[in-house]
Chain A
Amino acid sequence: MKGRGLATYAVAYLLFLYAPVILLPLFAFNDGTIIAFPLQGFTTGWFVQLTRIEALHDSVFNSLWIALTTAVLSTCFGLFAARASARYRFPAKGGIMGLIMLPLVLPEIIVAVALLVVLLQLGIDLGAWTVILGHVLICTPFSIAILNSAFLSLDESLEEASYDLGETKWSTFRLITLPLVMPGIISSMLIAFTISLDEFIIAFFLTGNEPTLPVYLWSQLRFPTKIPIVMALGTIMLVASLLLLTAAEYFRRRGVARTGAKDSGGFL
Protein backbone atom coordinates (compact mmCIF):
# COMPACT_ATOMS: atom_id res chain seq x y z
CA MET A 1 0.00 0.00 0.00
CA LYS A 2 2.53 2.52 1.29
CA GLY A 3 5.12 1.20 -1.16
CA ARG A 4 2.79 1.73 -4.12
CA GLY A 5 2.08 5.35 -3.14
CA LEU A 6 5.82 6.00 -2.96
CA ALA A 7 6.44 4.27 -6.28
CA THR A 8 3.85 6.51 -7.97
CA TYR A 9 5.54 9.54 -6.41
CA ALA A 10 8.94 8.31 -7.60
CA VAL A 11 7.72 8.01 -11.18
CA ALA A 12 6.05 11.46 -11.05
CA TYR A 13 9.28 12.93 -9.64
CA LEU A 14 11.35 11.35 -12.42
CA LEU A 15 8.95 12.94 -14.95
CA PHE A 16 9.60 16.33 -13.31
CA LEU A 17 13.37 15.72 -13.45
CA TYR A 18 13.25 14.71 -17.10
CA ALA A 19 10.69 17.30 -18.28
CA PRO A 20 13.20 19.84 -19.63
CA VAL A 21 15.63 17.25 -20.97
CA ILE A 22 12.97 15.47 -23.04
CA LEU A 23 12.17 18.73 -24.84
CA LEU A 24 15.73 19.04 -26.20
CA PRO A 25 15.57 16.31 -28.88
CA LEU A 26 11.88 17.08 -29.57
CA PHE A 27 12.61 20.65 -30.67
CA ALA A 28 15.99 19.80 -32.19
CA PHE A 29 14.19 17.71 -34.84
CA ASN A 30 11.15 20.00 -35.04
CA ASP A 31 10.67 21.73 -38.41
CA GLY A 32 9.73 25.18 -37.09
CA THR A 33 11.57 28.19 -35.68
CA ILE A 34 9.14 28.76 -32.81
CA ILE A 35 9.69 26.64 -29.73
CA ALA A 36 6.07 25.70 -28.93
CA PHE A 37 3.61 22.86 -29.38
CA PRO A 38 2.20 21.46 -31.60
CA LEU A 39 5.33 20.13 -33.33
CA GLN A 40 5.68 21.05 -37.01
CA GLY A 41 7.24 17.97 -38.56
CA PHE A 42 10.60 16.23 -38.71
CA THR A 43 13.82 17.83 -39.92
CA THR A 44 17.54 17.35 -39.49
CA GLY A 45 18.13 20.84 -40.90
CA TRP A 46 19.19 22.37 -37.59
CA PHE A 47 22.00 19.84 -37.27
CA VAL A 48 23.17 20.67 -40.79
CA GLN A 49 23.20 24.39 -39.91
CA LEU A 50 25.36 23.60 -36.87
CA THR A 51 28.18 22.50 -39.15
CA ARG A 52 28.31 25.94 -40.80
CA ILE A 53 28.75 28.27 -37.83
CA GLU A 54 32.42 29.03 -37.39
CA ALA A 55 32.11 30.96 -34.12
CA LEU A 56 30.44 27.90 -32.65
CA HIS A 57 33.23 25.57 -33.77
CA ASP A 58 35.83 27.90 -32.24
CA SER A 59 33.95 27.92 -28.93
CA VAL A 60 33.66 24.10 -28.96
CA PHE A 61 37.40 23.67 -29.52
CA ASN A 62 38.15 26.30 -26.90
CA SER A 63 35.90 24.51 -24.39
CA LEU A 64 37.35 21.08 -25.17
CA TRP A 65 40.90 22.37 -24.70
CA ILE A 66 39.97 24.07 -21.42
CA ALA A 67 38.11 20.99 -20.16
CA LEU A 68 40.93 18.62 -21.05
CA THR A 69 43.62 20.76 -19.39
CA THR A 70 41.39 21.26 -16.35
CA ALA A 71 40.78 17.51 -16.07
CA VAL A 72 44.51 16.70 -16.10
CA LEU A 73 45.55 19.50 -13.72
CA SER A 74 42.76 19.05 -11.18
CA THR A 75 43.36 15.29 -11.11
CA CYS A 76 47.08 15.88 -10.44
CA PHE A 77 46.32 18.34 -7.62
CA GLY A 78 43.63 15.91 -6.43
CA LEU A 79 46.13 13.02 -6.33
CA PHE A 80 48.54 14.95 -4.07
CA ALA A 81 45.86 16.15 -1.69
CA ALA A 82 43.84 12.92 -1.58
CA ARG A 83 46.94 10.82 -0.95
CA ALA A 84 48.05 13.16 1.84
CA SER A 85 44.59 13.28 3.38
CA ALA A 86 43.96 9.52 3.17
CA ARG A 87 47.36 8.33 4.46
CA TYR A 88 48.97 10.99 6.66
CA ARG A 89 48.22 12.99 9.76
CA PHE A 90 49.88 16.40 9.49
CA PRO A 91 49.70 19.75 11.30
CA ALA A 92 46.73 22.01 10.44
CA LYS A 93 45.23 19.21 8.31
CA GLY A 94 41.66 20.40 8.94
CA GLY A 95 42.42 23.99 7.93
CA ILE A 96 44.46 23.06 4.86
CA MET A 97 41.91 20.55 3.55
CA GLY A 98 39.12 22.98 4.44
CA LEU A 99 40.63 25.72 2.26
CA ILE A 100 41.19 23.30 -0.63
CA MET A 101 37.60 21.99 -0.43
CA LEU A 102 36.10 25.47 0.11
CA PRO A 103 35.00 26.02 -3.54
CA LEU A 104 32.41 23.23 -3.01
CA VAL A 105 30.37 25.51 -0.74
CA LEU A 106 31.31 28.90 -2.20
CA PRO A 107 28.87 30.42 -4.70
CA GLU A 108 30.68 30.37 -8.06
CA ILE A 109 30.09 34.07 -8.60
CA ILE A 110 32.29 34.84 -5.59
CA VAL A 111 35.15 32.72 -6.97
CA ALA A 112 34.69 34.32 -10.40
CA VAL A 113 34.63 37.91 -9.12
CA ALA A 114 37.59 37.38 -6.78
CA LEU A 115 39.74 35.87 -9.55
CA LEU A 116 38.70 38.57 -12.02
CA VAL A 117 39.74 41.37 -9.67
CA VAL A 118 43.15 39.83 -8.98
CA LEU A 119 43.87 39.02 -12.63
CA LEU A 120 42.95 42.55 -13.72
CA GLN A 121 45.07 44.07 -10.94
CA LEU A 122 48.04 41.96 -12.03
CA GLY A 123 47.43 43.05 -15.63
CA ILE A 124 47.02 39.48 -16.92
CA ASP A 125 45.09 39.20 -20.20
CA LEU A 126 41.89 37.17 -19.96
CA GLY A 127 41.66 34.08 -22.12
CA ALA A 128 41.56 30.29 -22.09
CA TRP A 129 44.29 30.06 -19.44
CA THR A 130 42.50 32.28 -16.96
CA VAL A 131 39.36 30.14 -17.34
CA ILE A 132 41.49 27.05 -16.73
CA LEU A 133 42.87 28.59 -13.51
CA GLY A 134 39.31 29.06 -12.21
CA HIS A 135 38.06 25.68 -13.37
CA VAL A 136 40.96 23.80 -11.76
CA LEU A 137 40.06 25.53 -8.52
CA ILE A 138 36.44 24.31 -8.55
CA CYS A 139 37.16 20.84 -10.01
CA THR A 140 39.96 19.88 -7.61
CA PRO A 141 37.57 19.28 -4.65
CA PHE A 142 35.54 16.85 -6.79
CA SER A 143 38.74 15.07 -7.86
CA ILE A 144 39.82 14.84 -4.22
CA ALA A 145 36.46 13.38 -3.16
CA ILE A 146 36.68 10.67 -5.84
CA LEU A 147 40.40 9.91 -5.34
CA ASN A 148 40.05 9.96 -1.56
CA SER A 149 37.64 7.05 -1.67
CA ALA A 150 39.95 5.28 -4.12
CA PHE A 151 42.91 5.66 -1.73
CA LEU A 152 40.85 4.72 1.33
CA SER A 153 39.58 1.49 -0.22
CA LEU A 154 43.17 0.57 -1.12
CA ASP A 155 44.57 -2.14 1.15
CA GLU A 156 47.64 -0.64 2.86
CA SER A 157 49.24 -4.06 3.38
CA LEU A 158 49.80 -4.34 -0.38
CA GLU A 159 52.10 -1.31 -0.25
CA GLU A 160 53.82 -2.58 2.89
CA ALA A 161 54.42 -5.94 1.21
CA SER A 162 56.04 -4.10 -1.68
CA TYR A 163 58.38 -2.15 0.68
CA ASP A 164 59.28 -5.41 2.44
CA LEU A 165 60.17 -6.95 -0.90
CA GLY A 166 62.68 -4.14 -1.48
CA GLU A 167 60.82 -1.71 -3.72
CA THR A 168 61.39 2.01 -3.14
CA LYS A 169 58.61 4.47 -2.34
CA TRP A 170 58.41 5.69 -5.90
CA SER A 171 58.50 2.26 -7.55
CA THR A 172 55.84 1.02 -5.12
CA PHE A 173 53.65 3.97 -6.06
CA ARG A 174 54.18 3.31 -9.76
CA LEU A 175 53.84 -0.49 -9.64
CA ILE A 176 51.23 -1.03 -6.92
CA THR A 177 49.33 2.12 -5.93
CA LEU A 178 48.89 3.78 -9.30
CA PRO A 179 47.41 0.76 -11.12
CA LEU A 180 45.00 0.15 -8.23
CA VAL A 181 43.71 3.75 -8.13
CA MET A 182 43.78 4.14 -11.93
CA PRO A 183 39.99 3.70 -12.24
CA GLY A 184 39.59 6.51 -9.69
CA ILE A 185 41.97 8.71 -11.72
CA ILE A 186 40.03 8.14 -14.93
CA SER A 187 36.72 8.72 -13.20
CA SER A 188 38.08 11.94 -11.63
CA MET A 189 39.28 13.17 -15.03
CA LEU A 190 35.91 12.46 -16.62
CA ILE A 191 33.98 14.26 -13.87
CA ALA A 192 36.33 17.29 -13.96
CA PHE A 193 36.09 17.33 -17.76
CA THR A 194 32.29 17.33 -17.63
CA ILE A 195 32.10 20.02 -14.93
CA SER A 196 34.52 22.29 -16.81
CA LEU A 197 32.70 21.78 -20.11
CA ASP A 198 29.40 22.89 -18.56
CA GLU A 199 30.64 25.65 -16.24
CA PHE A 200 29.27 29.08 -17.14
CA ILE A 201 29.78 31.76 -14.48
CA ILE A 202 33.57 31.57 -14.10
CA ALA A 203 33.99 31.26 -17.87
CA PHE A 204 31.63 34.22 -18.38
CA PHE A 205 33.81 36.44 -16.16
CA LEU A 206 37.26 35.19 -17.17
CA THR A 207 37.02 34.26 -20.83
CA GLY A 208 37.85 37.58 -22.51
CA ASN A 209 37.44 37.47 -26.30
CA GLU A 210 37.51 33.68 -26.72
CA PRO A 211 34.09 32.44 -25.53
CA THR A 212 33.70 28.91 -24.25
CA LEU A 213 30.73 26.88 -25.45
CA PRO A 214 28.38 27.86 -22.57
CA VAL A 215 29.34 31.54 -22.97
CA TYR A 216 28.64 31.29 -26.70
CA LEU A 217 25.28 29.60 -25.98
CA TRP A 218 24.41 32.37 -23.55
CA SER A 219 24.99 34.97 -26.26
CA GLN A 220 22.78 33.02 -28.70
CA LEU A 221 19.83 32.57 -26.30
CA ARG A 222 18.94 36.22 -26.93
CA PHE A 223 18.11 35.58 -30.60
CA PRO A 224 14.82 33.65 -31.00
CA THR A 225 15.70 32.46 -34.53
CA LYS A 226 18.86 30.75 -33.25
CA ILE A 227 17.02 28.69 -30.61
CA PRO A 228 16.36 25.53 -32.71
CA ILE A 229 20.08 25.40 -33.57
CA VAL A 230 20.87 25.69 -29.86
CA MET A 231 18.45 22.79 -29.22
CA ALA A 232 20.26 20.65 -31.80
CA LEU A 233 23.58 21.49 -30.18
CA GLY A 234 22.11 20.69 -26.75
CA THR A 235 20.99 17.28 -28.00
CA ILE A 236 24.50 16.48 -29.19
CA MET A 237 25.94 17.64 -25.85
CA LEU A 238 23.40 15.49 -23.98
CA VAL A 239 24.38 12.37 -25.92
CA ALA A 240 28.08 13.17 -25.47
CA SER A 241 27.81 13.62 -21.71
CA LEU A 242 25.76 10.41 -21.41
CA LEU A 243 28.56 8.53 -23.15
CA LEU A 244 31.17 10.15 -20.89
CA LEU A 245 29.20 9.32 -17.74
CA THR A 246 28.61 5.74 -18.77
CA ALA A 247 32.36 5.47 -19.27
CA ALA A 248 33.00 7.03 -15.84
CA GLU A 249 30.56 4.61 -14.21
CA TYR A 250 32.16 1.67 -16.02
CA PHE A 251 35.63 2.59 -14.73
CA ARG A 252 34.30 3.22 -11.23
CA ARG A 253 32.77 -0.28 -11.14
CA ARG A 254 35.98 -1.82 -12.43
CA GLY A 255 37.83 0.01 -9.68
CA VAL A 256 35.45 -1.29 -7.04
CA ALA A 257 35.81 -4.81 -8.39
CA ARG A 258 39.61 -4.51 -8.51
CA THR A 259 40.01 -3.50 -4.86
CA GLY A 260 37.55 -6.25 -3.91
CA ALA A 261 35.03 -3.94 -2.22
CA LYS A 262 31.26 -4.31 -2.40
CA ASP A 263 29.54 -2.01 -4.90
CA SER A 264 27.62 0.68 -3.04
CA GLY A 265 26.41 2.42 -6.21
CA GLY A 266 26.69 5.91 -7.68
CA PHE A 267 29.70 8.11 -8.22
CA LEU A 268 28.87 10.86 -5.78
Chain B
Amino acid sequence: MSSSDGAFSRWRHSEGAQGLILVSPTFLYALLLLAAPLATIVAISFWTQDYLVMIREFTLANYIRAWTEPLFQTLMLRSVVIAVIVTAATVLLAFPIAYYVSFNVRPERKALWIFLITIPFWTSYLLRVFLWKVILGYNGVLNSGLLGLGLIDEPLTFILYNANAVVITLAHAWAPFAILPIFVALEKIDRALLEAGQDLGESRFTTFLRVTLPLAMPGVVAATLIVFIPTIGDYVTPKLVGGPDGAMISNMIQLQFMKLNNGPLGAALAISGMIIVTAISLIFLWLNRRYLKVRQ
Protein backbone atom coordinates (compact mmCIF):
# COMPACT_ATOMS: atom_id res chain seq x y z
CA MET B 1 0.00 0.00 0.00
CA SER B 2 2.66 2.44 1.05
CA SER B 3 4.74 1.73 -2.05
CA SER B 4 1.86 2.32 -4.47
CA ASP B 5 0.91 5.42 -2.51
CA GLY B 6 4.47 6.61 -2.84
CA ALA B 7 4.51 5.98 -6.58
CA PHE B 8 1.22 7.80 -7.00
CA SER B 9 2.32 10.74 -4.91
CA ARG B 10 5.63 10.88 -6.81
CA TRP B 11 3.67 10.89 -10.07
CA ARG B 12 1.31 13.55 -8.76
CA HIS B 13 4.25 15.83 -8.01
CA SER B 14 6.02 15.19 -11.31
CA GLU B 15 6.13 17.97 -13.89
CA GLY B 16 4.05 16.02 -16.41
CA ALA B 17 1.22 15.36 -13.95
CA GLN B 18 1.15 18.96 -12.71
CA GLY B 19 0.96 20.24 -16.27
CA LEU B 20 -1.86 17.80 -17.07
CA ILE B 21 -3.81 18.76 -13.94
CA LEU B 22 -3.40 22.43 -14.77
CA VAL B 23 -4.52 22.09 -18.39
CA SER B 24 -7.37 19.68 -17.61
CA PRO B 25 -10.26 22.17 -17.08
CA THR B 26 -9.65 23.80 -20.47
CA PHE B 27 -9.00 20.43 -22.09
CA LEU B 28 -12.22 18.94 -20.70
CA TYR B 29 -14.17 21.93 -21.97
CA ALA B 30 -12.70 21.53 -25.46
CA LEU B 31 -13.34 17.78 -25.31
CA LEU B 32 -17.00 18.18 -24.31
CA LEU B 33 -17.90 21.19 -26.44
CA LEU B 34 -15.65 20.75 -29.46
CA ALA B 35 -14.43 17.18 -29.90
CA ALA B 36 -17.74 15.54 -28.94
CA PRO B 37 -19.90 17.80 -31.16
CA LEU B 38 -17.51 17.33 -34.09
CA ALA B 39 -17.70 13.56 -33.59
CA THR B 40 -21.50 13.82 -33.51
CA ILE B 41 -21.50 15.72 -36.81
CA VAL B 42 -19.37 12.98 -38.35
CA ALA B 43 -21.77 10.34 -37.03
CA ILE B 44 -24.99 11.94 -38.26
CA SER B 45 -23.49 12.56 -41.69
CA PHE B 46 -23.80 8.77 -42.10
CA TRP B 47 -27.43 8.69 -40.95
CA THR B 48 -30.65 9.82 -42.61
CA GLN B 49 -33.39 12.20 -41.59
CA ASP B 50 -37.00 11.12 -42.03
CA TYR B 51 -39.01 14.25 -41.28
CA LEU B 52 -38.44 14.62 -37.50
CA VAL B 53 -36.84 11.26 -36.80
CA MET B 54 -33.17 10.51 -37.28
CA ILE B 55 -32.65 7.00 -38.70
CA ARG B 56 -29.44 5.72 -37.18
CA GLU B 57 -28.35 3.32 -39.87
CA PHE B 58 -25.05 3.63 -41.63
CA THR B 59 -25.38 4.95 -45.17
CA LEU B 60 -23.17 6.81 -47.62
CA ALA B 61 -26.20 8.32 -49.36
CA ASN B 62 -25.56 11.85 -48.01
CA TYR B 63 -21.99 11.84 -49.27
CA ILE B 64 -23.05 10.49 -52.64
CA ARG B 65 -25.58 13.32 -52.95
CA ALA B 66 -23.07 15.91 -51.70
CA TRP B 67 -20.46 14.89 -54.27
CA THR B 68 -22.67 14.12 -57.30
CA GLU B 69 -25.58 16.57 -57.37
CA PRO B 70 -24.74 19.44 -59.77
CA LEU B 71 -26.02 22.12 -57.34
CA PHE B 72 -23.68 20.99 -54.56
CA GLN B 73 -20.78 20.52 -56.99
CA THR B 74 -21.26 24.07 -58.28
CA LEU B 75 -21.44 25.56 -54.77
CA MET B 76 -18.41 23.62 -53.56
CA LEU B 77 -16.33 24.49 -56.62
CA ARG B 78 -17.35 28.15 -56.39
CA SER B 79 -16.44 28.26 -52.68
CA VAL B 80 -12.99 26.85 -53.43
CA VAL B 81 -12.39 29.18 -56.41
CA ILE B 82 -13.55 32.26 -54.49
CA ALA B 83 -11.43 31.30 -51.48
CA VAL B 84 -8.35 30.82 -53.68
CA ILE B 85 -8.84 34.18 -55.44
CA VAL B 86 -9.56 35.98 -52.15
CA THR B 87 -6.47 34.43 -50.56
CA ALA B 88 -4.20 35.33 -53.49
CA ALA B 89 -5.55 38.90 -53.66
CA THR B 90 -5.38 39.43 -49.89
CA VAL B 91 -1.85 38.10 -49.46
CA LEU B 92 -0.45 39.90 -52.54
CA LEU B 93 -2.02 43.20 -51.47
CA ALA B 94 -0.90 42.70 -47.86
CA PHE B 95 2.77 41.92 -48.52
CA PRO B 96 3.85 45.43 -49.65
CA ILE B 97 2.11 47.06 -46.68
CA ALA B 98 3.72 44.64 -44.20
CA TYR B 99 7.07 45.28 -45.92
CA TYR B 100 6.58 49.03 -45.75
CA VAL B 101 5.74 48.99 -42.02
CA SER B 102 8.61 46.64 -41.19
CA PHE B 103 11.36 48.23 -43.32
CA ASN B 104 10.41 51.85 -44.01
CA VAL B 105 8.59 52.98 -40.87
CA ARG B 106 10.65 54.22 -37.93
CA PRO B 107 10.64 51.66 -35.06
CA GLU B 108 8.76 53.89 -32.61
CA ARG B 109 5.98 54.47 -35.17
CA LYS B 110 5.47 50.76 -36.01
CA ALA B 111 2.99 50.06 -33.20
CA LEU B 112 0.93 53.05 -34.36
CA TRP B 113 0.82 51.76 -37.94
CA ILE B 114 -0.25 48.28 -36.81
CA PHE B 115 -2.91 49.92 -34.65
CA LEU B 116 -4.11 51.99 -37.66
CA ILE B 117 -4.31 48.85 -39.79
CA THR B 118 -6.32 46.88 -37.22
CA ILE B 119 -8.81 49.59 -36.16
CA PRO B 120 -11.31 49.19 -39.06
CA PHE B 121 -11.61 45.50 -38.19
CA TRP B 122 -13.03 46.09 -34.77
CA THR B 123 -16.25 47.51 -36.22
CA SER B 124 -19.07 45.03 -36.54
CA TYR B 125 -18.27 42.47 -39.23
CA LEU B 126 -21.90 42.49 -40.37
CA LEU B 127 -21.87 46.25 -40.81
CA ARG B 128 -18.58 46.22 -42.73
CA VAL B 129 -19.99 43.70 -45.19
CA PHE B 130 -23.20 45.69 -45.43
CA LEU B 131 -21.25 48.91 -46.08
CA TRP B 132 -19.52 47.24 -49.03
CA LYS B 133 -23.00 46.69 -50.42
CA VAL B 134 -23.56 50.43 -50.00
CA ILE B 135 -20.27 51.19 -51.77
CA LEU B 136 -20.70 48.74 -54.64
CA GLY B 137 -24.47 49.07 -55.23
CA TYR B 138 -26.29 50.34 -58.35
CA ASN B 139 -26.82 53.76 -56.70
CA GLY B 140 -23.83 53.16 -54.49
CA VAL B 141 -20.94 55.35 -53.44
CA LEU B 142 -18.60 54.08 -56.15
CA ASN B 143 -21.10 54.40 -59.00
CA SER B 144 -22.41 57.82 -57.97
CA GLY B 145 -18.82 59.02 -57.51
CA LEU B 146 -17.67 57.76 -60.91
CA LEU B 147 -20.83 59.15 -62.58
CA GLY B 148 -20.28 62.49 -60.88
CA LEU B 149 -16.71 62.62 -62.16
CA GLY B 150 -17.94 61.76 -65.65
CA LEU B 151 -15.74 58.67 -65.84
CA ILE B 152 -18.66 56.34 -66.67
CA ASP B 153 -21.99 56.96 -68.42
CA GLU B 154 -24.11 54.40 -66.61
CA PRO B 155 -23.69 52.58 -63.29
CA LEU B 156 -21.42 49.54 -63.26
CA THR B 157 -23.45 46.42 -62.53
CA PHE B 158 -20.73 43.78 -62.46
CA ILE B 159 -19.61 44.74 -58.95
CA LEU B 160 -22.61 43.76 -56.81
CA TYR B 161 -24.61 40.56 -56.29
CA ASN B 162 -22.02 38.28 -57.85
CA ALA B 163 -18.73 36.57 -57.07
CA ASN B 164 -16.73 39.81 -57.72
CA ALA B 165 -18.46 41.53 -54.82
CA VAL B 166 -17.74 38.54 -52.57
CA VAL B 167 -14.05 38.64 -53.52
CA ILE B 168 -13.69 42.41 -52.89
CA THR B 169 -15.52 42.23 -49.57
CA LEU B 170 -13.62 39.20 -48.27
CA ALA B 171 -10.25 40.59 -49.42
CA HIS B 172 -11.06 43.58 -47.25
CA ALA B 173 -12.37 41.55 -44.33
CA TRP B 174 -9.24 39.37 -44.04
CA ALA B 175 -6.60 42.06 -44.68
CA PRO B 176 -5.18 42.29 -41.13
CA PHE B 177 -5.01 38.50 -40.80
CA ALA B 178 -2.67 38.51 -43.79
CA ILE B 179 -0.67 41.62 -42.86
CA LEU B 180 0.14 40.64 -39.27
CA PRO B 181 1.84 37.23 -39.85
CA ILE B 182 3.88 38.62 -42.77
CA PHE B 183 4.84 41.64 -40.67
CA VAL B 184 5.98 39.40 -37.79
CA ALA B 185 8.08 37.28 -40.18
CA LEU B 186 9.68 40.38 -41.74
CA GLU B 187 10.43 41.83 -38.30
CA LYS B 188 12.40 38.71 -37.39
CA ILE B 189 14.80 39.11 -40.34
CA ASP B 190 18.28 40.11 -39.20
CA ARG B 191 18.96 43.38 -41.04
CA ALA B 192 22.70 42.51 -41.15
CA LEU B 193 21.85 39.75 -43.67
CA LEU B 194 20.51 42.35 -46.09
CA GLU B 195 23.64 44.47 -45.75
CA ALA B 196 25.76 41.36 -46.27
CA GLY B 197 23.80 40.63 -49.46
CA GLN B 198 24.44 44.09 -50.81
CA ASP B 199 28.10 44.10 -49.72
CA LEU B 200 28.55 40.90 -51.70
CA GLY B 201 27.41 42.69 -54.85
CA GLU B 202 23.69 41.90 -55.01
CA SER B 203 21.37 44.72 -56.09
CA ARG B 204 18.52 45.80 -53.81
CA PHE B 205 16.10 43.80 -55.95
CA THR B 206 18.12 40.57 -55.99
CA THR B 207 18.74 40.91 -52.25
CA PHE B 208 14.96 41.11 -51.81
CA LEU B 209 14.42 38.04 -53.98
CA ARG B 210 17.22 35.92 -52.53
CA VAL B 211 17.29 36.99 -48.88
CA THR B 212 14.15 38.85 -47.75
CA LEU B 213 11.51 36.86 -49.59
CA PRO B 214 12.72 33.36 -48.59
CA LEU B 215 13.01 34.48 -44.96
CA ALA B 216 9.51 36.00 -45.09
CA MET B 217 7.95 32.84 -46.58
CA PRO B 218 6.86 31.30 -43.24
CA GLY B 219 4.79 34.44 -42.64
CA VAL B 220 3.36 34.31 -46.15
CA VAL B 221 2.46 30.63 -45.73
CA ALA B 222 0.79 31.34 -42.37
CA ALA B 223 -1.12 34.29 -43.87
CA THR B 224 -2.29 32.15 -46.80
CA LEU B 225 -3.68 29.42 -44.53
CA ILE B 226 -5.20 31.87 -42.03
CA VAL B 227 -7.13 33.57 -44.85
CA PHE B 228 -7.94 30.50 -46.95
CA ILE B 229 -9.39 28.16 -44.32
CA PRO B 230 -12.14 30.39 -42.86
CA THR B 231 -12.94 32.06 -46.20
CA ILE B 232 -14.36 28.85 -47.65
CA GLY B 233 -16.81 28.69 -44.77
CA ASP B 234 -17.92 32.32 -44.86
CA TYR B 235 -21.68 32.78 -44.56
CA VAL B 236 -22.43 36.49 -44.19
CA THR B 237 -20.61 37.89 -47.23
CA PRO B 238 -22.11 35.64 -49.92
CA LYS B 239 -25.54 36.09 -48.33
CA LEU B 240 -25.37 39.91 -48.27
CA VAL B 241 -23.41 40.85 -51.40
CA GLY B 242 -23.21 37.62 -53.38
CA GLY B 243 -26.70 37.41 -54.88
CA PRO B 244 -27.82 34.09 -56.40
CA ASP B 245 -24.58 33.68 -58.40
CA GLY B 246 -22.33 34.33 -55.42
CA ALA B 247 -23.80 31.84 -52.92
CA MET B 248 -21.29 29.54 -51.25
CA ILE B 249 -21.34 26.19 -49.47
CA SER B 250 -22.06 27.62 -45.98
CA ASN B 251 -25.31 29.11 -47.21
CA MET B 252 -26.34 25.61 -48.31
CA ILE B 253 -25.20 24.04 -45.01
CA GLN B 254 -27.28 26.58 -43.06
CA LEU B 255 -30.25 25.95 -45.37
CA GLN B 256 -30.06 22.18 -44.84
CA PHE B 257 -29.83 22.47 -41.05
CA MET B 258 -32.39 25.21 -40.48
CA LYS B 259 -34.94 25.46 -43.29
CA LEU B 260 -34.88 22.07 -45.00
CA ASN B 261 -34.46 20.14 -41.74
CA ASN B 262 -31.96 17.74 -43.32
CA GLY B 263 -29.14 17.71 -40.78
CA PRO B 264 -27.42 14.59 -42.14
CA LEU B 265 -27.02 16.10 -45.62
CA GLY B 266 -25.89 19.40 -44.08
CA ALA B 267 -23.34 17.48 -41.98
CA ALA B 268 -22.08 15.59 -45.03
CA LEU B 269 -21.66 18.89 -46.89
CA ALA B 270 -19.85 20.47 -43.95
CA ILE B 271 -17.48 17.50 -43.59
CA SER B 272 -16.88 17.33 -47.34
CA GLY B 273 -15.96 21.02 -47.22
CA MET B 274 -13.59 20.43 -44.30
CA ILE B 275 -11.94 17.53 -46.13
CA ILE B 276 -11.41 19.69 -49.22
CA VAL B 277 -9.96 22.56 -47.16
CA THR B 278 -7.63 20.22 -45.30
CA ALA B 279 -6.51 18.52 -48.52
CA ILE B 280 -5.77 21.81 -50.29
CA SER B 281 -3.93 23.17 -47.23
CA LEU B 282 -1.79 20.03 -46.95
CA ILE B 283 -0.95 20.09 -50.67
CA PHE B 284 -0.02 23.77 -50.34
CA LEU B 285 2.24 23.08 -47.34
CA TRP B 286 3.81 20.09 -49.10
CA LEU B 287 4.54 22.15 -52.25
CA ASN B 288 6.13 24.84 -50.12
CA ARG B 289 8.32 22.37 -48.30
CA ARG B 290 9.21 20.59 -51.52
CA TYR B 291 10.07 23.59 -53.70
CA LEU B 292 10.75 26.50 -51.38
CA LYS B 293 12.15 24.58 -48.41
CA VAL B 294 9.93 26.52 -46.00
CA ARG B 295 10.10 25.16 -42.48
CA GLN B 296 7.15 25.75 -40.19
Contact = CB atoms under 8 A, between A and B. Distances in A.
A198 to B, nearest CB: 6
User: From DSSP, what is the main secondary structure of chain B's interface residues?
Assistant: helix
User: From DSSP, what is the main secondary structure of chain A's interface residues?
Assistant: helix
A89 B15 contact: yes
A213 to B, nearest CB: 8
A170 interface: no
Contacts of A107: 229-230, 232-234, 250, 273-274, 277
A265 interface: yes
Contacts of B134: 20, 23, 27, 35-36
Interface stretch (B67-75, B91-99, B193-201): B91-99
A163 interface: no
Given A17-B120, A114-B40, 8 more contacts: A17-B175, A99-B35, A108-B233, A108-B235, A118-B40, A136-B33, A245-B122, A265-B111
A76 to B, nearest CB: 8
A133 to B, nearest CB: 6
Interface in A187-213: 194, 198, 200-201, 205
Nearest to B36: A118
Interface residues of A, number: 85
A77 interface: yes
Interface string A76-100: 1110110111011111010011011
Contacts of B140: 36
Nearest to B24: A80
A99 B93 CA distance: 32
Interface stretch (B57-65, B125-133, B209-217, B287-295): B125-133
In the A-B complex, list the 6 residue pairs whose CB atoms are closest, starting with the nearest. Answer: A107-B233, A88-B19, A90-B19, A265-B111, A114-B37, A20-B131
Most buried by B among A13, A17, A78, A221: A17
A225 B132 CA distance: 18
Interface in A1-18: 2-3, 6-7, 9-10, 13-14, 16-18
Most buried by B among A19, A107, A140, A201: A107
B53 interface: no
A137 B30 contact: yes
A182 interface: no
A136 B29 contact: yes
A234 B30 CA distance: 33
Given A96-B23, A200-B236, A266-B114, A137 B127 contact: no
A144 B121 CA distance: 21
A265 B110 contact: yes
A238 interface: yes
A158 interface: no
Contact of B141 (A23, A81, A103, A264): A23
Interface in A67-83: 76-78, 80-81, 83
Interface in B109-154: 110-111, 114-120, 122-128, 130-132, 134-135, 137, 139-141, 144-145, 148
Given A7-B104, A23-B141, A80 B229 contact: no
B270 to A, nearest CB: 6
B296 interface: no
B144 A24 contact: no
A262 B46 CA distance: 54
B16 interface: yes
Given A20-B131, A110-B233, A217-B127, A9 B96 contact: yes
A113 B97 contact: no
